[in-house]
A and B are shown apart, each in its own frame.
Chain A
Amino acid sequence: MTFRGTSLSLALGIVLASSTSSFAVTEISWWHAMTGANNEVVNTLSKEFNESQSDYKVVPVFKGTYPETLNAGIAAFRAKQAPDIIQVFDAGTGVMMAAEGAIKPVADILSMGGAKFDKSLYLPGIVAYYSKPDGTMLSFPYNSSSPILYYNKDIFKKAGLDENKPPKTWPEVWDAAKKIKTSGAAKCGYTSAWLTWIHTENFAAWNNLPWGSNENGIGGVDVELKINAPIYVKHFQELADLAKDGTFRYGGRTSEAKPLFLSGECGIYNDSSGGLGDVIKSGMNYGTGPLPYDPESKDAPQNTIPGGASLWVFAGKSDEQYKGVAAFFNFLSKTEIQARLHQVSGYLPVTLAAYEETKKSGFYDKNPGRETPIQQMMGKAPTENSKGVRLVNLPQVRDIQNEEFENMLSGKQTAQQALDNAVKRGNAAIKQAIGQ
């Protein structure tokens, strides 16, 4: 009995001590999916923030891949153990948006921190993507990227191609790839990460074509896919034909194709600008270029849509925690932090000031090509085809496409059949997900 009494009073003492503001450090948990160099950035940022003030402590926790992190967050929410901040990838944006009761809009939180939230400080294309149709910003754009072209300059030289001229259009890419293959400069000409994000979603925006109805889902959740229009069929049939003799090599559904490029097996590669870190690290003689476009579409190139991930805040936390989150987001928005993030990682700066700062510092003159992802996204005002792609079940719809593409690339079906199936199955999945 005495022991129980002591421990009780001890516990009471701890509770009392921790509730007095002089001792209190509010912990902010942050679940993320960053690996390698990007993981180090997460840890450094948290450490810097924690040292810059004494009221809040951000605790980053690595939760696996992007989809795994999202699932962990959802499971934790159902168990009433949700973290404060969770990093959700582009395709998960619609999932989070559909869960209105589960999240707290970042716009609300940022204005809680005392500082007034000014949306115009942020890059418009990115902010629009993470906002509700009425303009309320829902999540904080932590790491945004856009797809670019990487090529191996040594292989270009060996194949007799101009190493300072990356192919600009898809036909130019196919020609260069064939030349690399036939000249024996490399075993494969072209490979690509993320066939869905790059070759359907960004292909549509960059060529100013509808990907789905309702402004690709930005205007409303009821979407019918349009990716079996003739121009997509032509594009994918060309890929399928190139796959037959190995001129195009398939690496996997996300960024598994990267080793094919880094090892020198393939000469040309499409991936997110966020993949730049690994390319630099490999020490290869590489060049970059904008995402290729289809010369037959008259508005191309239009603008690319944001990829990467953003930070979401769960609902049901205390005001003290939200204030901490606000302080952390304001810290992340600081010009010097954003400029540094952008320059070390290949991700886009999220504030205009950071972009201007990087420009002024002469970074882009010293590192040609590093401005490409921003110019691609900001070059033209977005049309209804190029604001972004949003579905309540985009991860599922992407997987359906991936399955059909795999059956096409293995020669089981034509591009027309693959895309028709992807549209049919995708539409059915969307209907089911929105409850129709």
Chain B
Amino acid sequence: MASSTRVTFPNKFLPYLLLAPQLAITAIFFYWPASQAIYQSVLREDPFGLSTQFVGLDNFRRVLGDPNYLNSLQVTVIFSVATALIAMALALLLAVMADKVIRGKGIYRTLLIWPYAVAPAIAGMLWLFLFNPSMGTLAYLFRSTGYNWDPLLNGDQAMVLIVSAAAWKQISYNFLFFVAGLQSIPKSLIEAAAIDGAGETKRFWTIVFPLLAPTTFFLLVVNTVYAFFDTFGIIHAVTGGGPGKATETLVYKVYNDGFVNLILGDSAAQSVILMIIVIGLTAIQFRYVERKVHYG
């Protein structure tokens, strides 16, 4: 598959010069903080950085031996899977529906894309205003129907709340890609199937869904990464990791141990583990899942 003729630059330095801005950004925003995290993860340090001690892998040993860390891992898996599935399923449903709309297509799409512009922390606050048991409007309605809505104490309800908020915010993004994906499916294929007598459901599952696979796969990667990292603002605003530790995801635990409990070594060790998890996840996704994706 490798092509025999390669484009070569006559100037030896120009390519490096052109790459320099991107390399600089990667170095400053990725390699430098990542190396700091690795360095910090083998140290034991007081919050102010007045005394530092090398402790080797002690921090990792403690973190991995902590039952709360395993709990946090479990919370993260549940949260990420639920958020990605709900956000993608609803977005696909909306995209398929919006694809059928003939009048006012633009308005529908604009309105559905809107929530994506909302910052995570603001999205969290919006949901909190609706569902906070002390002041939430909808929470008040829930309670008045006799349902015991109390995400401050009920961990499952708290999880439902943050999954809803996180999925709601991500639906727009997924919607956008699914709409684009649907548009690229040749109408002739669908029409041919219709002439052959395939019903709407059959057409969707046998033609549309498989042809959307590249989009779906791309979104699966993006949504997983989103649920892992970009939902910090929502969790911080809505539950703060509580009640108990019911909604403390891995990223939230890094923040909590580092910035609230001021245990920098443990926190750094957790970020290093997180980094390894994400590198692993991405590798698995691209190596094994991508093979099964049909790129049309």
Contact = CB atoms under 8 A, between A and B. Distances in A.
B262 A78 contact: no
B244 A395 contact: no
A251 B153 CA distance: 9
A67 B259 CA distance: 9
Given A260-B134, A399-B261, A406-B243, A99 B48 contact: yes
A77 B48 CA distance: 7
Contacts of A67: 260
A102 B262 contact: no
B263 A432 contact: yes
A200 B134 CA distance: 23
Interface residues of B, number: 25
Interface residues of A, number: 37
Contact of B262 (A95, A252, A403, A406): A95
A101 B260 contact: no
Interface string B225-260: 000000000000000101111000000000010011
B210 interface: no
A395 B260 contact: yes
Interface in A63-81: 67, 71, 74, 77-78
Given A252-B152, A410-B243, A99 B50 contact: yes
Contacts of A99: 46-48, 50
Contact of B153 (A95, A250, A393, A432): A250
Contacts of B49: 77-78
A410 B154 contact: yes
Nearest to A266: B134
B151 to A, nearest CB: 10
Interface string B134-163: 110000000000000010111100000000
A95 B50 CA distance: 13
Contacts of A410: 150, 153-155, 243-244
A256 B128 CA distance: 13
Contacts of B47: 74, 95, 99
Contact of A102 (B48, B152, B259): B48
B48 A406 contact: no
B48 A78 contact: yes
B48, B49, B150, B259: which has the most chain A beta carbons within 10 Å?
B48
A74 B48 contact: yes
A259 interface: yes
A259 B134 contact: yes
Given A99-B48, A102-B50, A406-B243, A396 B153 contact: no
Query: Nearest 7 CB-CB pairs, A to B?
Result: A406-B243, A396-B261, A410-B153, A99-B48, A407-B244, A102-B48, A259-B134
20 contacts: A74-B262, A78-B48, A78-B49, A99-B46, A101-B50, A250-B150, A250-B153, A251-B152, A252-B134, A257-B134, A260-B134, A393-B262, A395-B260, A396-B261, A403-B242, A406-B152, A409-B153, A432-B62, A433-B263, A435-B44
Given A99-B47, A396-B260, A406-B152, 4 more contacts: A78-B49, A99-B50, A409-B153, A410-B153
